[in-house]
Amino acid sequence: MEQPPGWTWQDRAEGSIPRGSALDPSVDPVDGVRAYPTAYLPDRLLLIGSGDRRRRAVDSDLEFIAQAAESFGWQISVGPADATAQIVAGRAARDAAQGAPRELAPGVPGLLRVLLTTPDVAGRGESPAPPDSWRVLQRARRISQSSMPRAGLEHVLSVDPVGLNPFTQTNPFTQTNPFTQTNPLRGAGPVGTDDYLQPGRGARQPVAWIGAAPIRGAEPKRGRRPVVAVLDTGCGEHPWLPHDIVTRGVELDGAPIGLTGHDDPEIYPDLYGQLDGEIDAVAGHGTFIAGLIRQTAPDADILAIRVAGSLGVVDESVFLRALADVIELKRRNVRDPKAGRPIDVISLSLGYYHETPVDGQFSLTLYGLLRSARELGIVVVCSAGNDAIDRPSFPASLWAWDGADNGILPDDLAPLVSVGALNPSGRSVALFSNVGPWVRVYAPGTLVVSTTPPFTGGAQAGTRSDFDDLPRETVDPDDYRGGFSVWSGTSFAAPFVAGRIAAALGPELAKGGTPTRKALRRAVDEVLAGLPNPVR
């Protein structure tokens, strides 16, 4: 299969290394801190780090972290989370002040990244071993006798259709054996959530689209079209998604937002894992989402921003930086309609589970960014996750739901909408969908049809029997050159809702108006009220 320019076996092998570690809550327990499993990067911590008022607290936290790391025999260095150069942190107070990053958004502190390293020669403390940021954070909490809410792990987020769960799997690529099933599924097959993983039952598979493309109206004479920003795997080429509808390579001040490397899962479908020709887990994910928005809001423009690779994992700092840059585009546009970019809806089909999700024990950086977006009039739509659990996920649960234990209070800003998935009947929730009071609404997300790049993998049709120069065969399970597929996941329920909201805002935007917060909430309520209502 086609590979990026200069791609080598080293790239394939390095990309397949598990990203992150699974947190064991039983390690280094601290009184008053009840932890739960998550996926995180073990060699780093994130620390809220900008603003003069916070400098003294940041300096104190850094000293506690340095003491904790030294007790294990590890060293730390600190610098802005979005900078490549690091600042050695032996002089924590002064260096932290010099290296403090700019605010992610007005009122949202910037981030410092604290890197943990093992010295070449063992020194005082425990025998050096691979760093573990969770152990350092817990020991720093014990030393400081506080929960240290300004400091936290750098989590691994996941773009996850059904079957990829960073809560239990730090590396989504788990299949070491090539495709071995040449015979189509016979009989009843699996039951439960695994049912959705089988071709013909819910997993991604090719499908033929019969009918016309969504009809796009003429350019508004006075106003503009609604705009949906999608932070995902980017967007591939497709006839439904030309460049006058989808903007790829979005920039801020001449610098690209998000990832820009050659390992683009919307261009190259099989980058990582074995040489089995099996298409990577989330290759084409962003294109599929863009197609859903195209169907639900034909008049909308789409900003496609890549934050994830082919395995569907996202470093938290990469996501926060990209999200902050998108919000800055909107902020500049609010000040000057000729600057920045108008953005009306942000669609997020990704998330993670925080190890300490209750009030006062997690960083509010992500919440602060989402609040900034909503203050600017952006509706935020988040997928709930596909793990068939009721544990709140971030960012979907970062709102004031009934019975919320996150400390977030109700507000009158543009809404945050968390979305679970419905089965095709619209009368039942998909078994894989996360549920709970933090899931605000459910929308079609199972066996939905949308666009896909013209990928083809290594799996062959089950049977081939040519006749009279005609190629005859059963369906090739990974030949997507027809441009369409069916797929399942709350990843696809969220853009369904995002598109519907964009379409509802379209008429006022086309007239040159700017929806008030009250109008935004009313439009969202009308869209949600029009969704299928599963029978209770």
pLDDT band at 536 (very low <50, low <70, confident <90, very high): low
In a domain, 298, yes or no: yes
Are 109 and 207 found together in one domain? no
pLDDT at 227 over 50: yes
Residue 388 burial (10 A CB sphere; 0-12, 13-18, 19+): middle
Residues 322 and 258: beta-carbon distance below 8 Å: yes
In a domain, 173, yes or no: no
Per residue in 400-415, pLDDT tens?
Answer: 999 999 999 999 999 9
pLDDT band at 191 (very low <50, low <70, confident <90, very high): low
| CA distance to 193, 293, 300, per residue, from 341 (Å) | 41, 18, 14
What share of the chain has pLDDT > 90, as a percent? 66
pLDDT at 525 over 70: yes
Are 507 and 441 found together in one domain? yes
Quote the DSSP letter at residue 333. H
Quote the DSSP letter at residue 245. T
More confident residue, 167 or 129: 129
Are 60 and 119 found together in one domain? yes
More confident residue, 165 or 65: 65
Supply the pLDDT for residue 124. Answer: 61
Are 140 and 281 found together in one domain? no
DSSP assignments along 510-535, one per residue: HTT----HHHHHHHHHHHHHTS----
What does the alpha-carbon distance between residue 44 and residue 136 come to, in Å, rounded to a whole number?
A: 10
Are 343 and 468 found together in one domain? yes
More confident residue, 104 or 273: 104
In a domain, 172, yes or no: no
Amino acid of residue 378: I
Supply the pLDDT for residue 184. Answer: 46
Residues 46 and 111: beta-carbon distance below 8 Å: yes
Mean of pLDDT values over 260-265: 90
What does the alpha-carbon distance between residue 411 and residue 108 come to, in Å, rounded to a whole number?
A: 17
> For residues 328, 332, 338 and 341, what is the CA-based torsion angle, rounded to 10 degrees?
20
Mean of pLDDT values over 272-276: 78
pLDDT band at 86 (very low <50, low <70, confident <90, very high): very low
pLDDT band at 472 (very low <50, low <70, confident <90, very high): very high
Are 196 and 152 found together in one domain? no
Quote the DSSP letter at residue 67. H
Widest Cα–Cα separation across the chain:
81
195 token code pair: 């049912």
What does the alpha-carbon distance between residue 269 and residue 408 come to, in Å, rounded to a whole number?
A: 40
Quote the DSSP letter at residue 85. S
pLDDT at 145 over 70: yes
pLDDT band at 480 (very low <50, low <70, confident <90, very high): very high
pLDDT at 48 over 90: no
pLDDT band at 489 (very low <50, low <70, confident <90, very high): very high
pLDDT band at 1 (very low <50, low <70, confident <90, very high): low
What does the alpha-carbon distance between residue 216 and residue 344 come to, in Å, rounded to a whole number?
A: 18
In a domain, 162, yes or no: no
Per residue in 166-186, pLDDT tens?
Answer: 444 433 434 444 445 544 444
What does the alpha-carbon distance between residue 382 and residue 445 come to, in Å, rounded to a whole number?
A: 13
What does the alpha-carbon distance between residue 157 and residue 229 come to, in Å, rounded to a whole number?
A: 18
Quickly tell me which residue has 């977030």 as its tokens: 408
Helices 92-99 and 52-72, axial angle in degrees (round to 10): 130
Q: Is the peptide bond before 29 cis (omega within 30 degrees of 0)?
A: no
In a domain, 278, yes or no: yes
Among 136, 156, 176, which residue terminates a domain?
A: 156
Structural domain count, the chain: 2
pLDDT band at 189 (very low <50, low <70, confident <90, very high): low
Are 201 and 144 found together in one domain? no
Per residue in 358-375, pLDDT tens?
Answer: 887 888 899 999 999 999
Supply the pLDDT for residue 381. Answer: 98
Are 324 and 465 found together in one domain? yes
In a domain, 167, yes or no: no
In a domain, 24, yes or no: yes
pLDDT band at 81 (very low <50, low <70, confident <90, very high): confident
Supply the pLDDT for residue 147. Answer: 82
Residue 112 structural domain:
18-156
Are 145 and 202 found together in one domain? no
pLDDT at 497 over 50: yes
CATH of the domain at 439: 3.40.50.200
pLDDT band at 12 (very low <50, low <70, confident <90, very high): confident
In a domain, 180, yes or no: no
What does the alpha-carbon distance between residue 479 and residue 483 come to, in Å, rounded to a whole number?
A: 9
Are 447 and 368 found together in one domain? yes
Per residue in 304-335, pLDDT tens?
Answer: 999 998 889 999 999 999 999 999 999 999 99
Supply the pLDDT for residue 129. Answer: 81
pLDDT at 163 over 80: no
Among 156, 173, 200, which residue terminates a domain?
A: 156
pLDDT at 228 over 90: yes
Helices 365-375 and 316-335, axial angle in degrees (round to 10): 20
Residues 143 and 68: beta-carbon distance below 8 Å: yes
pTM: 0.91
Are 134 and 211 found together in one domain? no
Per residue in 422-464, pLDDT tens?
Answer: 999 999 999 999 999 999 999 999 999 999 999 998 888 889 9
Amino acid of residue 385: G
Are 117 and 263 found together in one domain? no
Mean of pLDDT values over 230-239: 97
Which residues touch 247 (CB under 8 Å, ≥6 apart)? Answer: 301, 302, 303, 304
DSSP assignments along 443-497, one per residue: EE-SSEEEE--S-B-S---S-B--BTTB--BS--TTB-TTSEEEE-SHHHHHHHH
What does the alpha-carbon distance between residue 487 and residue 474 come to, in Å, rounded to a whole number?
A: 20
Mean of pLDDT values over 50-55: 55
Q: β-pairing, 75-80 with 111-117?
A: antiparallel
What share of the chain has pLDDT > 70, as a percent? 88
